Structure 1
Amino acid sequence: MATLFNSNGSKVQLGKKIGGGGEGNVYKIISTDKTAAKIWHEKKPKKKQNKITIMAESSSDSLRKVTAWPLDTLHKTKGGDVIGFIMPDITGYNKLHDFYNPSNRKKKHPNIDWEFLISICRNIAASFATIHAKNHVIGDVNPGLIFVSNKTVTKFVDCDSFQIIHNKITYPCRVGVQNFTPPELQKTKDFSKVLRTKNHDNFGLALLIFHILMMGRHPFSGVYSGNSDMELRVSIQKYLYAYSSNTSTRLKIKPPPKSISVDMLPNEIQSFFEKAFSQSGSLFNRPTAKEWIKALDRFRSQLKKCRSISTHKYYNKLTSCPWCLLENKGVTYFYKKSFNINKYWDGAQSAISLKITKINFNQEFNKIKSLASPGPTKITFPSLFKPCKEKPFNLTILNTYKEIIPKQLKTQMPGQLFFSADEKKILKKRKGRKFQSIFLFLTTIAPSYYFSLNIKAQVTQILLVVLAFILFSYKSSKDKKIDKKKKEHTNQKKQATVELLIQNKQIKSEIVGRINSTRLPILSTIKSAELKLNKGISSNKNNLKNLKNQWESNFNDTSFNTTQKNLTSSYKKYKNIKLDYNAELHTINIKAKDDQFNYYMQSTYINDWKIKGIGPKKKRGLYIHGIQVASDISSWAVDRVPGFGEKHTQTMLDWKYQMENLFVFSPNNAITLSQYKRLKNKYLKLKLGLERKIINESDKLEQINKQRLQKNDKLTDSINKLMHKLAQDEINLEEFKRKYINI
């Protein structure tokens, strides 16, 4: 084993190699279990050596808690060049990738939940805050820098790449992982010439937290709306945050299919991501590590545990478990804890075969069957009378008022119009003249329809027509007197008709007034009295009907029969509990093979396998379009991914078929612990509930008769009193009718 020297010239004995990378290897130090040595592959420039010396001299307890910070320099010879450094040993810590990547988590940490991942995020933010408090900048932020313990404690490695400022001399971070580099630095070719800021680190911090909470998804990786996929570096450079709520961004890029929705996160966390990944955030305005610590602590305190699967924890403002909804869609991120049912089988059998000691159920059931309903209590109700109808009044009294009608109207209609003999002759001559004029007119006009007349004939024709008109219209003085006589007679008839109508109306009004002043007050009084009697009878009949309904509802067999039927059903269910339990357990075992197969296919990640002809670029294309595991593969899904033609689609279908053939069913893991507990609790709860029901309800049948007798006394008295009052009211009404209605 190699022997080196520290800055004091003391010997440092190296042990076995425990790690390594592109810059150097890491070895155990034999003299202690708490430290390790990082030895570079190549000699470093003097400035790099000075940087490590300064870092070792500025080491502090707070830095050592969260990083593998250089503790001392290492040299081949005393006082020689720095070839490496001593740092805290991080044995027992795991790569961050093993926790947030679903495939790695299934293999190495299958029982952790979202709360565990949130705690990791919180501790990463705390580590950032500690480093920034010392005025250092990480620079090359990426998941490879971070290791995590099983208690969520985080440690940063490769600290010699951090940006350090000492005595106004900057020792820059010379490297950067493109997928974690801020948009404003994406075009940088030489990081050694860039002064990194804490705001640059804050971008990487937000990206790490997103990566962990969103199951390894990159915030700038999504489905681009253009004709081809966009490179991740270009998406970062253009601030195209795929999960943004910004409408203009959403039109350009969307989250991949089957990815987790940011709506699963509190609004505060969502706004932090929006701010960190936006262009405005690049102006020294991204959420700081301290702000992330507070937000993540609040988030962790707001988690809720799923009732179905213990490893499902989610934000308590959500109405249902989002992890269960994702599993229903064929996406599994947190895994159920399985166990061997055979270890618990004896207990399961004995739990179901427990017997109640309070009562002998066979004897109790025979007692239930032997009880018979006593039947309804006998009582005779009076027949409900039909409502009494009001009889029409006899209005013979109107004959008393005949004398008020006058025998003769004051106005008389004029008689028929008569003409004298001379007037009749004049009327006859007038009729003759009119006939002659009409004849003259027709004989004059007729020739023009058949012959074409000359001007002289036409003039003669016009003169004859004028003569006919004059003859038709002519009236002598005697004619005019006769017309005047006719008009006067017509006016007299009209005037007489109007006067007669007025006189009739006055007479009718006088008759009605006299009737109303004498007859109607009497009739109103009689009618009011009759209505009052009828109303009282109707009210009593309704009351009697209500009492009858109460009687029937309280004293029928429904309560007894229902109770006996329910208890019989409960007893049969109680006897079949064990059979039902075994049947459901059998169903679970039958379904187990399908569940295990689906679970296996959902947990077989494409990135974990070498597939001929499918390189990293094509795998990333599948990933962006929501095809991550074997169960996602279908001819339709793969064929729509850009770059996948018929050949590559068939390659993926063949690989899926190969994975299906590798599946092996495990009968011992057919049921999960949570399933077993739910099944056991379900039937124990059912058993105890039925026992209580049978015990508590069996006495109810014996109490029904006692209750009926107690209520019988109260209702009988009320019914008898009401029946007596109703009979008396009926007699009163008949007597009233006899005396007063036919007046």
Structure 2
Amino acid sequence: MQDIVIGKNRFSLAERIGSGGEGEVYAINGRSGQAVKIYFASKRRERETKVRAMVGEGLAVKTDLIAYPGEIASDQRGNFIGFVMRRVTGCRPVHELYDPKSRKIHFPKADYRFLIHSALNVARAVGKVHQTGCVIGDLNHSGVLVAPDATVALIDADSFQFRVNGRSYPCVVGVPDFTPPELHGKNLATVERTIAHDNFGLAVAIFHLLFMGKHPYAGIRKGSETSMGEDIARNRFAYSLQRSAQTQSKPPPGALTLDLFPDVLSKTFEAAFGLTPGARPSALDWIHALSKLESSLSHCTKVKTHYYPSAAKGCVWCKLTAKSGLDMFPDMSAVTPNIPTDARGTEQAIREILAFRFPAVGDLLPAVMVRGASSALSEAKGGKRGRTLLGLLMMGGAVAGFIYATPVWFIWIGLAFWGWSFVGDREVSSSPFVQAFKDADERVQRELNAFMQRNGLTEVVKVRGDLDATIATYKGHDDALSREVMKLKSNRESRQRQAYLDRFSVRRANISGIGPAKTATLISFGIETAGDVNRSTVMQVPGFGEVMTGKLVAWRRRHESRFKYDRTPNAQDVADERALRGRFAAEKAKLESTIRNGLGTLRNARAKLDSLPARVKNDRGLSDALATRAQAERDLKELDASVPASTVALTVATPPQPPRAPHVATPTPSRRAGAASSPSCPKCGSSMRRRSGRYGQFWGCSRYPKCRGSRN
């Protein structure tokens, strides 16, 4: 390799670090921590003046966040060839952090806190550029590098707009998806950039980080489709809550929304992508808003790597995983299959739980003695006697009329029939008293529920019901694991093909007609690699018709044609099965813990349960309800009517559907066998409720007493 001269000293070039449209970057032997950018010969003359001015201004010593030109590099004849800068090592382009699939490869331990902290550091770095008197101009994802500790460095600093001694050295390039609305359609080489322009690009970069690589202007539009460039130029911020009626846009499926974030952050994004360039938040404004978000995150109780905005009122990552099957921040620590379990102790706990019995309602609720009929029944009977007497009088009058006023005999016949109807209707209807009994029975149920609540036993009843679902899931756990292992092995070729295709990012596709803006749109709609490309999915992306879709599909097929299935078991197979077994082992441990804790709750409640009958007698509300029902029952017996069966029970909430098997990216585990949901009634097909009877708990039809179907 050629030697270069820095100052008065000669150095040899080491390995090439990278290359671009203007030149190549090399390490320097004897200069640890530094690199040299050597321009192509055709670029040296137009770059020399600007680079010398930046070196002369001493920008490189003002901050270590930006790889500014620090020294001039010359050839052995003293001719300008490039500049020396800080060497940035161990970092990756920021898009490899915010794009979900690449994040799992390059930042596998990153959680949402890491992304927020990286966004903070991007804002700090951009703010530092502005403090040095420069404007980035071409702020984009390839010029921002992120380290494993979330620190950030900016590169390509020689393209920054720079002004010194009254002369401006412009930034002549730009990426469409980071270019603000007011610059679309303009010749960037002739435009003097401002901090407001940078603030737009900064907001796009932060949005990418917080919204999993999605672009703020890539959404679903009403009306005819337009390009992203047109949408940016027309200020159609797809996520806007304040201007949704004007933008006629909404986020793509599966995207986060602004209302999930604190107001300060939501308003900052609205201002950044609003109608007034001068109102765009500065780097300092973003530092304030992101710090608020960082300090207000909630921690998911189910997945320890899930941190989410508190304003979301629930883990957004768990919800996205349930919808898409893709966990944005998987818990990699849960893949160790050797998690200790206690099968013997758990089985013993299960036997004790299943033997646990609540007091039967008949034993719990005392019998109430009632003397005589109620006033309502007495009044009803009295009314019937009065009607009977009136009927007899009417019939007597009809007989007298026949004797003394025969010519109007038809009147007396009518009067006789009318009187007979009164005499014949002597029975008191039982319907209102049956309804009174049912109402009283429902009141007893309400008072019993309230009694259980007052005595701290409602949770015990619920725990007992939930344990049925947990035990059913635990019993089917090993069978479910066996099925998933078989499924994992059976689709080995498809997983291997998917992993191969995921190596080819659409960002590096280099397909004619699909530039940065269209690429950003694809990624915003979940198409990140060749493995995500299929015709139907791409056709749903705005701006992609038959022609562009055909190009993408052809690109995928070219890569797919080179795929070769390796039948030999490899390290990935071992890792996949280990991950699957690890997730199942982690869930089994959780199930065992739930069962043991549930048993502890039941044991602690035993003393309270034993004292329930005595407490019931002293409970005024429940005693009154029982007395009312007893009176209603006595009234029905007075009428010789059948008494409906009581539906009062120590109600156990219907056990919820047991949780899904632990998620594995490919394949997705199915729901567990033996899930304990509410069974159907064997007689009428209706849902059933868990009840407690004389011989323990059983399933009873929800339509009882109309239907008496039951299951054990």
* TM-score, with length taken from structure 2: 0.60
The alpha-carbon distance between structure 1 residues 128 and 593, as it changes in their structure 2 partners (threshold 3 A), is farther
The alpha-carbon distance between structure 1 residues 153 and 62, as it changes in their structure 2 partners (threshold 3 A), is farther
Structure 1 match to 2:116: 118
> Does the alignment pair 1:643 with 2:545?
yes
The alpha-carbon distance between structure 1 residues 275 and 578, as it changes in their structure 2 partners (threshold 3 A), is closer
Structure 1 match to 2:274: 278
The alpha-carbon distance between structure 1 residues 622 and 354, as it changes in their structure 2 partners (threshold 3 A), is same
1:149 to 119, 139, 147: 147
Structure 2 match to 1:683: 592
Structure 2 match to 1:204: 201
2:140 partner amino acid:
N
The alpha-carbon distance between structure 1 residues 591 and 640, as it changes in their structure 2 partners (threshold 3 A), is same
Structure 2 match to 1:175: 173
Q: How does 1:354-373 map to 2 (within 5 A)?
A: 354=345
Instruction: Provide the C-alpha distance between the structure 2 equivalents of 1:164 and 1:382, rounded to a whole number of angstroms.
Output: 98
Structure 1 match to 2:211: 214
Q: Secondary structure at the match of 1:65?
A: coil
Instruction: Provide the C-alpha distance between the structure 1 equivalents of 2:88 and 2:256, rounded to a whole number of angstroms.
Output: 32
**8 Å contact kept, 1:332–1:602:** no
1:239 to 235, 240, 243: 235
User: CA-to-partner distance for each residue in 1:286-306, whole Å, 9 max, x for gaps?
Assistant: 111111111111111111122
> Does the alignment pair 1:102 with 2:121?
no
Q: Of Structure 1 and Structure 2, which has the larger fraction of its residues in helix? A: 1
Structure 2 match to 1:137: 135
1:320 partner amino acid:
G
Structure 1 match to 2:578: 668
2:344 to 350, 353, 366: 353
1:616 to 497, 514, 526: 514
1:687 partner amino acid:
R
The alpha-carbon distance between structure 1 residues 248 and 579, as it changes in their structure 2 partners (threshold 3 A), is closer
Instruction: Provide the C-alpha distance between the structure 2 equivalents of 1:285 and 1:693, rounded to a whole number of angstroms.
Output: 61
> Does the alignment pair 1:262 with 2:261?
no
The alpha-carbon distance between structure 1 residues 68 and 337, as it changes in their structure 2 partners (threshold 3 A), is same
User: CA-to-partner distance for each residue in 1:593-631, whole Å, 9 max, x for gaps?
Assistant: 779989999997697379999973787776676666767
Shift of 1:125: 0.6
Structure 2 match to 1:581: 474
The alpha-carbon distance between structure 1 residues 232 and 331, as it changes in their structure 2 partners (threshold 3 A), is farther
**8 Å contact kept, 1:67–1:155:** yes
User: CA-to-partner distance for each residue in 1:297-351, whole Å, 9 max, x for gaps?
Assistant: 1111111122222332211011222222222222636142346867415x22xx3
**8 Å contact kept, 2:44–2:81:** no
Shift of 1:201: 0.9
Instruction: Provide the C-alpha distance between the structure 2 equivalents of 1:14 and 1:657, rounded to a whole number of angstroms.
Output: 36
Shift of 1:352: 3.5
**8 Å contact kept, 2:533–2:553:** no
1:586 partner amino acid:
D
Q: Secondary structure at the match of 1:317?
A: helix
Structure 2 match to 1:398: none
1:683 partner amino acid:
E
Instruction: Provide the C-alpha distance between the structure 2 equivalents of 1:57 and 1:380, rounded to a whole number of angstroms.
Output: 101
Tell me whether 156-165 or 633-642 shows the greater mean CA deviation. 633-642
Q: Secondary structure at the match of 1:103?
A: helix
Shift of 1:173: 1.5
1:40 partner amino acid:
Y
Structure 2 match to 1:18: 17
The alpha-carbon distance between structure 1 residues 697 and 18, as it changes in their structure 2 partners (threshold 3 A), is same
> Does the alignment pair 1:249 with 2:241?
no
Instruction: Provide the C-alpha distance between the structure 1 equivalents of 2:197 and 2:549, rounded to a whole number of angstroms.
Output: 43
Instruction: Provide the C-alpha distance between the structure 1 equivalents of 2:132 and 2:55, rounded to a whole number of angstroms.
Output: 14
Instruction: Provide the C-alpha distance between the structure 1 equivalents of 2:265 and 2:346, rounded to a whole number of angstroms.
Output: 54
Shift of 1:104: 1.2
Instruction: Provide the C-alpha distance between the structure 1 equivalents of 2:525 and 2:332, rounded to a whole number of angstroms.
Output: 31
2:546 partner amino acid:
F
**8 Å contact kept, 1:140–1:176:** yes
**8 Å contact kept, 1:132–1:198:** yes
Shift of 1:90: 0.7
**8 Å contact kept, 1:112–1:334:** no
Structure 2 match to 1:469: none
> Does the alignment pair 1:65 with 2:55?
no
2:214 partner amino acid:
R
1:116 partner amino acid:
F
Instruction: Provide the C-alpha distance between the structure 2 equivalents of 1:234 and 1:379, rounded to a whole number of angstroms.
Output: 79
Instruction: Provide the C-alpha distance between the structure 2 equivalents of 1:99 and 1:681, rounded to a whole number of angstroms.
Output: 31
Instruction: Provide the C-alpha distance between the structure 1 equivalents of 2:327 and 2:337, rounded to a whole number of angstroms.
Output: 28
The alpha-carbon distance between structure 1 residues 134 and 186, as it changes in their structure 2 partners (threshold 3 A), is same
Shift of 1:247: 3.8
User: CA-to-partner distance for each residue in 1:4-34, whole Å, 9 max, x for gaps?
Assistant: 2223x12233211122211111111221321
Whose Rg is larger? Answer: 1
The alpha-carbon distance between structure 1 residues 380 and 145, as it changes in their structure 2 partners (threshold 3 A), is closer
Instruction: Provide the C-alpha distance between the structure 2 equivalents of 1:54 and 1:149, rounded to a whole number of angstroms.
Output: 29
1:49 partner amino acid:
E
Instruction: Provide the C-alpha distance between the structure 1 equivalents of 2:167 and 2:505, rounded to a whole number of angstroms.
Output: 45
The alpha-carbon distance between structure 1 residues 594 and 311, as it changes in their structure 2 partners (threshold 3 A), is farther
2:266 partner amino acid:
Q
Structure 2 match to 1:396: none
**8 Å contact kept, 1:272–1:287:** yes
Tell me whether 271-280 or 46-55 shows the greater mean CA deviation. 46-55
Q: How does 1:387-398 map to 2 (within 5 A)?
A: none
Shift of 1:583: 2.6
**8 Å contact kept, 1:206–1:273:** yes
Q: Secondary structure at the match of 1:199?
A: helix
The alpha-carbon distance between structure 1 residues 166 and 381, as it changes in their structure 2 partners (threshold 3 A), is closer
Percentage identity across aligned positions?
25
**8 Å contact kept, 2:497–2:565:** no
Q: Secondary structure at the match of 1:336?
A: coil
The alpha-carbon distance between structure 1 residues 602 and 706, as it changes in their structure 2 partners (threshold 3 A), is same
Shift of 1:205: 0.8
User: CA-to-partner distance for each residue in 1:365-416, whole Å, 9 max, x for gaps?
Assistant: 99x99xxxxx99x9999977999x9xxxxxxxxxxxxxxxxxxxxxxxxxxx
Instruction: Provide the C-alpha distance between the structure 2 equivalents of 1:653 and 1:88, rounded to a whole number of angstroms.
Output: 38
Q: Secondary structure at the match of 2:256?
A: coil
User: CA-to-partner distance for each residue in 1:658-703, whole Å, 9 max, x for gaps?
Assistant: 7999799733221455x644431331342254256448738976x8
Q: Secondary structure at the match of 2:253?
A: coil
Which structure 1 segments of 5+ residues have no match?
370-374, 390-552, 554-562, 712-743
**8 Å contact kept, 1:639–1:649:** no
The alpha-carbon distance between structure 1 residues 650 and 379, as it changes in their structure 2 partners (threshold 3 A), is closer
The alpha-carbon distance between structure 1 residues 63 and 152, as it changes in their structure 2 partners (threshold 3 A), is farther
**8 Å contact kept, 1:340–1:668:** no
Shift of 1:67: 0.8
Instruction: Provide the C-alpha distance between the structure 1 equivalents of 2:548 and 2:6, rounded to a whole number of angstroms.
Output: 62
Which structure 2 segments of 5+ residues have no match?
358-362, 379-446, 448-456, 567-571, 620-712
Structure 1 match to 2:6: 6
The alpha-carbon distance between structure 1 residues 656 and 137, as it changes in their structure 2 partners (threshold 3 A), is closer
The alpha-carbon distance between structure 1 residues 166 and 640, as it changes in their structure 2 partners (threshold 3 A), is closer
Q: Secondary structure at the match of 2:67?
A: coil
Instruction: Provide the C-alpha distance between the structure 2 equivalents of 1:707 and 1:265, rounded to a whole number of angstroms.
Output: 49
Structure 2 match to 1:531: none
Structure 2 match to 1:299: 293
**8 Å contact kept, 1:241–1:249:** no
Shift of 1:224: 3.8
**8 Å contact kept, 1:219–1:242:** yes
Q: How does 1:594-633 map to 2 (within 5 A)?
A: 608=505, 616=514
